[in-house]
Amino acid sequence: MSICTLPEGFFFGAAMSGPQTEGAWQRYGKLESLWDTWSNERIEDFHNRVGSYAGNDFTNRYKEDFELLRSLGLASWRTSIQWTRLLDANGKLNPEGSEYYHRLFASAEAVGLETFVNLYHFDMPTYLFRRGGWESREVIEAYATYARIAFREFGQEIKYWFTFNEPIVEPQQRYTDAVWYPFHHDFAQARTVQYGISIAHSLAVAEFRELQGTGQVRADAKIGLINCFTPPYTKEDPSEADLLAVRMADGIDNRWWLDLVTKGSLPEETIGALSSRGINLPVRAGDEQILAQGTVDWLGFNYYRPERIQAPERDVDEYGNPVFASEYAWPDAVMNESRGWEIYPKGIYDFGMTMARDYPDLEWFVSENGIGIQGEGAFRDASGTIQDDYRIDFVRQHLSWIARAIEEGAKCRGYHYWGVIDCWSWNNAYKNRYGLVEVNLDNGYSRHLKKSAGWFKRVTATHAIE
Ligand code: BGP
């Protein structure tokens, strides 16, 4: 077996989020998020009726979880502060919530784990959603205030900050594909939300810079954005219309964010194409200056799958939305059937090289990558350990392509595996498991290493990908 290596200084860590791990949904003064509201209203939408309430019991186990992460050789972990826990319903600091996060971060530091903090992971407070969510300037301003409070509160503790995780996902899941609450099929509304998040991101970066200037945020701190970039591909012998569709999908999903965080503006070609079909963003005087402040210090690249695109099969869909691109079913696609996502490890290399070419100064790390499998119990051996060779294979291939991209000039600095410890996957709940560590729901959320944990530990120790 050939062995390739990742450079010295390349870091390994765990990607997590507050809403998927913390549980304790009513403790420490936490308010309702849209996940709690959806769970309360339609629990039958959640796999096995497991709603947002329990996470993976992290709040009761974080000390032991941090030891576990360290024992796998990980140097860092990412979580998100929950807006609904840090602030009260008047938008003021909730002391109980803030003490909780101080305890958490101190506990990670005590075992030598660097904490990366993200401020928003699809978890809109319900009372703000009812005031218009990302379509409302009042809510966007409230987010900027929340970010400011968080930076001030934890500015001496936390070095690595992120404004949003996957800002493209709410426009898609909530407003285009109608699979998440409030289940809309409205392309124009999705773009308004996307624009609102872009303004919110930029305002938060401006707050960060100001507080760093006055010493309230430590001088060595960095701010970034995390997105699930989807390297776009089309047919081998594409038509002009196929290529145009690729540019449009790439523009909305990827370049929108890459331009925002490197140039402080949105891609003109994409905005122009939207406008030519009657989709106009709710631009206000002064927005250009706000967006110009959205440039970041580095970027998180969540990679799960590519997107395969062809020319649209129709101009308008059944809901009256303009269609710019259709999915192309590539006959050679290898699928993760549990999740319905294509597995294409080379995509991480291709997109890394695109960034190296088009955004050469941008530093980044792989902020999520992993594979969720249904029914992993079938892979348990006689000793009770899940033999997840498919996961080892998945991570090995992705790390190998990352190593190659770095060799060829990509500025990739590290890798956070998504989950590490099994966690709650939104409305899929515990259907698909991502962890290197199993969580046993029938035994008080107890943790058990899977085979992949041992393999990953060797990689973190040697940087060699066997
Ligand atoms: C990313 C999210 C994570 C995580 C992961 C796996 O999009 O940032 O929150 O959930 O995907 O996806 P899922 O849990 O839907 O299977």
Q: What are the pLDDT digits (tens) for 80-130?
A: 999 999 999 999 999 999 999 999 999 999 999 999 999 999 999 999 999
Ligand 1 atom nearest to CA at 169: 7
Question: What class has domain 4-465?
Answer: alpha beta
C-beta pairs of 438-444 under 8 Å, 24+ apart in sequence? 438/376, 438/386, 439/56, 439/57, 444/57
Ligand 1 atom nearest to CA at 226: 8
State the distance from the centre of ligand 1 to the C-alpha of 425, rounded, in angstroms: 6
State the distance from the centre of ligand 1 to the C-alpha of 381, rounded, in angstroms: 27
Q: Say how many Å lie between the first and final Cα of the chain, rounded.
A: 7
Q: What is the pLDDT of residue 2?
A: 64
The predicted-structure confidence for 254-297, as pLDDT tens digits, reads as follows 999 999 999 999 999 999 999 999 999 999 999 999 999 999 99
Say yes or no: CB of residue 426 within 6 Å of ligand 1: yes
Residues 6 or more apart in contact with residue 107 via CB below 8 angstroms: 62, 63, 66
145 vs 3, residue with greater confidence: 145
Say yes or no: CB of residue 372 within 6 Å of ligand 1: yes
Residue of 22, 153, 166, 207 marked active site: 166
> How confident is the prediction for the chain on average, in pLDDT?
97
Q: Which of 80, 169, 423, 426 to mutate to test the pocket of ligand 1 (most atoms within 8 A of CB)?
A: 426
Protein residue whose Cα sits closest to atom 4 of ligand 1: 425
Protein residue whose Cα sits closest to atom 6 of ligand 1: 425
CB of 175 closer than 8 Å to CB of 166 = no
Residue of 342, 368, 376, 438 marked active site: 368
Active site residue 368: yes
Protein residue whose Cα sits closest to atom 12 of ligand 1: 425
- Please give the average per-residue pLDDT across 448-457, as a whole number: 98
Active site residue 32: no
The partner residues of 162 in beta bridges, in order of sequence, read: 118, 224
In angstroms, the CA 46 to CA 36 distance is 11
Say yes or no: CB of residue 17 within 6 Å of ligand 1: yes
Say yes or no: CB of residue 170 within 6 Å of ligand 1: no
Strand locations in 89-155, DSSP E?
A: 114-118
The predicted-structure confidence for 229-259, as pLDDT tens digits, reads as follows 999 999 999 999 999 999 999 999 999 999 9
Ligand 1 atom nearest to CA at 165: 8
In angstroms, the CA 225 to CA 72 distance is 26
Say yes or no: CB of residue 165 within 6 Å of ligand 1: yes
Domain boundaries of the chain, sorted by first residue: 4-465
The predicted-structure confidence for 135-149, as pLDDT tens digits, reads as follows 999 999 999 999 999
3-state secondary structure of 307: strand
State the distance from the centre of ligand 1 to the C-alpha of 79, rounded, in angstroms: 13
Say yes or no: CB of residue 339 within 6 Å of ligand 1: yes
